[in-house]
Structure 1
Amino acid sequence: EQEEKDNIADKLVDDFGEFDPTLELGSYKFPPIDLLDPHGATGGITINQEELEENKNKIVETLRNYKIGIAQIKATIGPTVTLYEIVPDAGIRISKIKNLEDDIALSLAALGIRIIAPIPGKGTIGIEVPNKNATIVSMRSVIASSKFQKAEMQLPIAFGKTISNETFVVDLAKMPHLLMAGATGQGKSVGLNAVLTSLLYKKHPAEVKFVLVDPKKVELTLFNKIERHYLAKLPDMEDAIITDNTKVINTLNSLCIEMDNRYELLKLAMVRNIKEYNVKFKTRKLNPHDGHRFLPYIVLVIDEFADLIMTAGKEVETPIARLAQLARAIGIHLIIATQRPSVNVITGIIKANFPARIAFRVTSKIDSRTILDTQGADQLIGRGDMLFTQGNDVTRIQCAFVDTPEVAKITEFIGSQRGYPEAYELPEYIGEDSGTSIDYDISERDALFRDAAEVIVTAQQGSASLIQRKLKLGYNRAGRIIDQLEAAGIVGPFEGSKARQVLITDLSTLEQLLKNEQN
């Protein structure tokens, strides 16, 4: 039977070619590079040779003053930082050089230097010194680079340029999830924009969908133009970009449902991850009548995650932890940006599933430890200077700068083309009504029902403990009265740890309500 199926599949491929998910928008054009600004960079990095020599001599001299001999020194020039690699004489302890950080910074009159001792994979010690005048790394130069254009990755992301001035491209599908952190105004949102831009330049709308969560309300609004091409949303939402914190919970739970559905499909198809599944689907081995479909990657972007936790708390944590643990095999990837990923914001479970971290500049060593588990992020210059780690060694990158007008142009260009009839629909999530909506018969009501109602309307605070105190009742009876009040429409539903809302404002309205019930 299996052979028969394979034969049919091969015959279909011969007749119609492989299944092409991009056919539905066959005329879709990728945005051209001209939409991006060069930002004044001509490409080459200008550095005066004298400054280099001077710095080299100063470093050598400072170390010599402290009785540290140097065998050789060489410089690598990057966009904002120059790396001086030194090889110390035999028998000199590294820790001795590491302790001289401030002295070297003093002699160079630099903003702040970072000593990497030793550089992983080389037998040298690195000293990073900020350049006097930094070059802006434009998004254009990064996207135009051949490394990004030829990248054979599932979800290529171009962050910017490394110290040695090479374009830095990583695969989001390999990372699984990404955690970005840094103080306010150091370029987190620009970093998010760079990630989204590089995906828009490389991926067809059929291959990737975004779920954008933006508690700040203004950072990601530009992307609503590409709603019918790239965004995913719940069936009953007006906006595809979620700014309302209560809707986030539904979206996250809906993504969890989508995850379970996708795992079911993978199980039926006998494959282990989304890549194999899509290959199998393209070669027409899977029958769409059995519910199989081409699965696009889904990238969930959350800006200001801390704000979500403050307003929604536990209800957000559970689905995110589930997605972080399980979702990488079926192509749902999370990118979370927050100011400081301390334990009360990002729990240990979530953090353990985010091996890829990006740290922009932070204020203290402790913050740097929370993000990267090593120090160094406190020595950055700011304005897009960042450290990227993927679980092992730390790379210093100057993040590519993409400005609001550029993003607007790109989204405008994509939005003006023919899109899908509507945004990619996530499965519908019906929140469990946490209200204990049992209809109590009026005859079964508690003898103290009326007194309790008056107490609660007077106090404008619907809690069982209030009834316990005022009417000297036990907890069980008070709880039952609260349920009856809810059924009568006097207090609102249960809302977690917050007190219930009282729906009736004054006693006269209460009288009216109870009279109407009698009639």
Structure 2
Amino acid sequence: MEKDIKKSPAKTAEQNKTLSKLRIFFGILFLLISVVSALSFVSYLMNWKADQSQAGTMLDKEIQSSNIFGKIGDWLGNIFIFDSIGIAAFIVAFLFFVVGLIILKKNYFKPWKTVGHSLFFICWLPIFMGAVTKGEGVLSGVYGYQIMDFLNSIIGTAGLWLVIVVSIALYFILEFNLNPTNIKSKLNNLNDNTVGKVKGMMPRSEKSFEADEELDEVADSEEEKITVSESSPLSKKVTKDPITGLPDIPINQDLETIVTPNQTSFYESTENNSVTLSPTPSVPIVDIVPKTDDINFKVEVAKTVDIVDESDRASQELVDKHGFYDHKLDLAKFQMPTLDLLRDYGNEEISVNKEELEENKNKIVGLLKNFNVGISEIKATIGPTVTLYEIVPEAGIRVASIKKLQDDIALNLSALGIRIIAPMPGKGTIGIEVPRKNPSMVSMRSVIASQKFQNSDMDLPVVFGKTISNEIFMADLAKMPHLLMAGATGQGKSVGINAILTSLLYKKHPSELKFVMVDPKKVELSLYSKIERHYLAKLPDGEDAIITDTHKVINTLNSLCIEMDQRYDLLKNAFCKNIKEYNKKFSERKLNPENGHR
């Protein structure tokens, strides 16, 4: 019977080949990563003491590595073994191998079960190795040592081992369902199988032969009671299917036979690997469904209908006629502030004081040597106000021993305060930040004029200065709805507030931003009184835009709360989540000002 069925277009052969090639490529890539990682870990465990001092020297061609994969192998070993999970890093390599097999459609492992077991041993094995080695070597990694040391200090050695043993015991109990009942049943099944095998080897008795003969006679008598004609397919011998092992029953050409799962048949096996169908007294029920060749069966897929609302159509017509709404046209003649308003401090290059660097270097090395902390390498990075000294400790030196010396180093350097970064993110070094005696000037003009600030796409970009690596540091004030700036006198709170205000004034149009300023000290924000006409918001009956009387702040805050509630109502009516989405919808002329939208 021919059927008129619409089918979705299948993928072409070229697309299937491309997908197959991509799958093979990524599968082999993950397998290669697994092998490289495993060999790198093995080589790292054999030579970690000699190669650890080379951390952070990836680009130095003069330093040679003894790892089988060179400095890449050292880096992998240092990241996964020394700085993290120790010997459990081999489980990570194994997971890469499993992912590669899954991509290649080699389902030798159950994915989620394998990941679950791997995560458990990644957490458990480092702690166990830390307890066994007592933190010596790299088998436990930093993670295993820190957790072991913490548990040891809280619950003692006995409690630590109790936690380790109980956790692994619970794992096996939950995974293999080990309980007294299951163990007893498994032992009984094992005994029954053993006894059955022994009985099968014993000769059969005469009584058993007699019992078999009686069963054969009963079966013959039942066959004689029920007769089946030769033309019926039930009386024919049926060959077993080689795959499923079930009999292949012939079907009448004029009828389609459907056998439900609850229908059973009785089969007697014969010697030539075929079966003879012998119906039992309860004849199975067969559902007979006649064929319908004369009915034309068609399948159609409903098409997606794009429903355009009347308001959307009207807004689109307005956009086509007048273009998008430009809020800056309300103050079309307004000119953004220029860089000439900011003071130019001239050359702001960082000056290098070699005597200060050499003196601090000698003090750091000498102090660490007094505490038996050896250093194989030290490097200085000079920032505008802080100098960063990066040190590479000798093999076997723990990071925690250097962290404890923070106050001693600050005292020896006669510095107001230092900061130790151990380890440096993305590096195999330890950083010591020391304030400079003569810091360099970082002017507001230099950071405002930078391309990073000028080309920023943040909602409320704020530039705070430069980092220790002399890079522009920026943040989005829109992601900080509640910001608290605190600190001692002279730490830069006022400078920070001025940096925020200046950044926003140089980036935002008056139609996009309004300030409400409260200055209890009366002298901090008085400079901004000149921008009252464009940027400052105040009450209609207010005298000064910058509030200096704390008793008058209450009315301003109450009015702001009322304005906030009104804006939330507008967002609700416009089906928007935030002000950015609301303004975008208004600029696309989808919101009618006659309905209160603005």
Partner residue, 2:198: none
CA distance in 2, matches of 1:291, 1:144: 40
TM-score, L = length of structure 2: 0.47
CA drift at 1:106: 4.1
Tell me the secondary structure at the aligned position of residue 351 of structure 2.
Answer: coil
The one of 38, 45, 48 equivalent to 2:344 is 38
Tell me the secondary structure at the aligned position of residue 319 of structure 2.
Answer: helix
The answer on 1:88 being equivalent to 2:88 is no
TM-score, L = length of structure 1: 0.54
The answer on 1:171 being equivalent to 2:476 is yes
The answer on 1:222 being equivalent to 2:515 is no
CA drift at 1:283: 0.6
CA distance in 2, matches of 1:121, 1:251: 48
Partner residue, 2:332: 26
The answer on 1:110 being equivalent to 2:405 is no
Tell me the secondary structure at the aligned position of residue 232 of structure 1.
Answer: coil
CA distance in 2, matches of 1:207, 1:119: 41
Tell me the secondary structure at the aligned position of residue 410 of structure 2.
Answer: helix
Partner residue, 2:272: none
Partner residue, 1:276: 581
Tell me the secondary structure at the aligned position of residue 463 of structure 2.
Answer: strand
CA drift at 1:242: 1.0
The answer on 1:75 being equivalent to 2:383 is no
**One-letter amino acid of the structure 2 residue matched with residue 4 of structure 1:** E
CA drift at 1:2: 5.8
Instruction: Describe the superposition over 1:375-414 as per-residue Cα deviations: whole angstroms up to 9, x where unpaired.
Output: xxxxxxxxxxxxxxxxxxxxxxxxxxxxxxxxxxxxxxxx
CA distance in 2, matches of 1:121, 1:267: 46
**One-letter amino acid of the structure 2 residue matched with residue 243 of structure 1:** T
Partner residue, 1:126: 431
Partner residue, 2:493: 188
Partner residue, 1:149: 454
Greater RCO between the two (CA within 8 Å, min separation 6)?
1
Tell me the secondary structure at the aligned position of residue 110 of structure 1.
Answer: coil
Tell me the secondary structure at the aligned position of residue 548 of structure 2.
Answer: coil
CA distance in 2, matches of 1:160, 1:78: 12
Deviates more, 1:75-84 or 1:95-104: 95-104
**Given that residues 348 and 441 in structure 2 are in contact (C-alpha distance below 8 angstroms), is that contact kept between their aligned partners in structure 1?**
no
| Inter-CA distance 224–264: structure 2 relative to 1 (3 Å threshold) | same
**One-letter amino acid of the structure 1 residue matched with residue 417 of structure 2:** G
The answer on 1:248 being equivalent to 2:576 is no
Aligned ranges for residues 281-296 of structure 1 at < 5 Å?
281-293=586-598
Structure 2, unmatched stretches of 5+, are 1-306
Tell me the secondary structure at the aligned position of residue 516 of structure 2.
Answer: strand
| Structure 1 segments (4+ residues) deviating >6 Å | none
CA distance in 2, matches of 1:105, 1:217: 38
Task: Please state which structure has a larger fraction of its residues in helix.
Answer: 2
Partner residue, 1:443: none
The one of 248, 251, 257 equivalent to 2:562 is 257
CA distance in 1, matches of 2:427, 2:584: 40
CA drift at 1:117: 2.8
CA distance in 2, matches of 1:258, 1:80: 43
The one of 313, 316, 321 equivalent to 1:10 is 316
Instruction: Describe the superposition over 1:13-48 as per-residue Cα deviations: whole angstroms up to 9, x where unpaired.
Output: 121111111101112111111111123x51311113
The answer on 1:63 being equivalent to 2:360 is no
Q: What's the C-alpha RMSD, in Å, of the aligned pairs?
A: 1.9
Identical amino acids, percent of aligned pairs: 71
CA distance in 2, matches of 1:283, 1:149: 26
CA distance in 2, matches of 1:90, 1:253: 63
Deviates more, 1:46-55 or 1:184-193: 46-55
Tell me the secondary structure at the aligned position of residue 59 of structure 1.
Answer: helix
Aligned ranges for residues 334-353 of structure 1 at < 5 Å?
none
Instruction: Describe the superposition over 1:177-198 as per-residue Cα deviations: whole angstroms up to 9, x where unpaired.
Output: 2110112233322221111111
CA drift at 1:50: 4.7
**One-letter amino acid of the structure 2 residue matched with residue 35 of structure 1:** L
Tell me the secondary structure at the aligned position of residue 390 of structure 2.
Answer: strand
Partner residue, 1:140: 445
CA drift at 1:121: 4.9
Query: For the pair shown, which has the larger CA radius of gyration, 1 or 2?
Result: 2
**One-letter amino acid of the structure 2 residue matched with residue 13 of structure 1:** V
CA distance in 2, matches of 1:147, 1:5: 40
Count of residues in Structure 1 that have an aligned counterpart in Structure 2: 292
| Inter-CA distance 292–2: structure 2 relative to 1 (3 Å threshold) | farther
Aligned ranges for residues 292-331 of structure 1 at < 5 Å?
292-293=597-598
Tell me the secondary structure at the aligned position of residue 213 of structure 1.
Answer: coil
Partner residue, 1:101: 406
CA drift at 1:122: 4.1
| Inter-CA distance 175–91: structure 2 relative to 1 (3 Å threshold) | farther
Partner residue, 1:430: none
CA distance in 2, matches of 1:219, 1:108: 35
CA distance in 2, matches of 1:68, 1:185: 36
CA distance in 1, matches of 2:329, 2:553: 32
Instruction: Describe the superposition over 1:232-267 as per-residue Cα deviations: whole angstroms up to 9, x where unpaired.
Output: 111221111111111111111211111111111011
CA distance in 1, matches of 2:491, 2:478: 26
CA distance in 2, matches of 1:221, 1:94: 50
Instruction: Describe the superposition over 1:49-91 as per-residue Cα deviations: whole angstroms up to 9, x where unpaired.
Output: 4533443343233212211122433222111111112232343
**One-letter amino acid of the structure 1 residue matched with residue 335 of structure 2:** K
Tell me the secondary structure at the aligned position of residue 157 of structure 1.
Answer: strand
Instruction: Describe the superposition over 1:156-187 as per-residue Cα deviations: whole angstroms up to 9, x where unpaired.
Output: 11111111111111100012221101122333
Aligned ranges for residues 446-485 of structure 1 at < 5 Å?
none
Aligned ranges for residues 392-403 of structure 1 at < 5 Å?
none
CA distance in 1, matches of 2:412, 2:487: 29
Partner residue, 1:422: none
Partner residue, 1:239: 544
CA drift at 1:9: 1.0
CA distance in 2, matches of 1:232, 1:123: 52
CA distance in 2, matches of 1:42, 1:149: 21
Instruction: Describe the superposition over 1:422-466 as per-residue Cα deviations: whole angstroms up to 9, x where unpaired.
Output: xxxxxxxxxxxxxxxxxxxxxxxxxxxxxxxxxxxxxxxxxxxxx
CA distance in 1, matches of 2:368, 2:493: 37
CA distance in 1, matches of 2:314, 2:342: 47
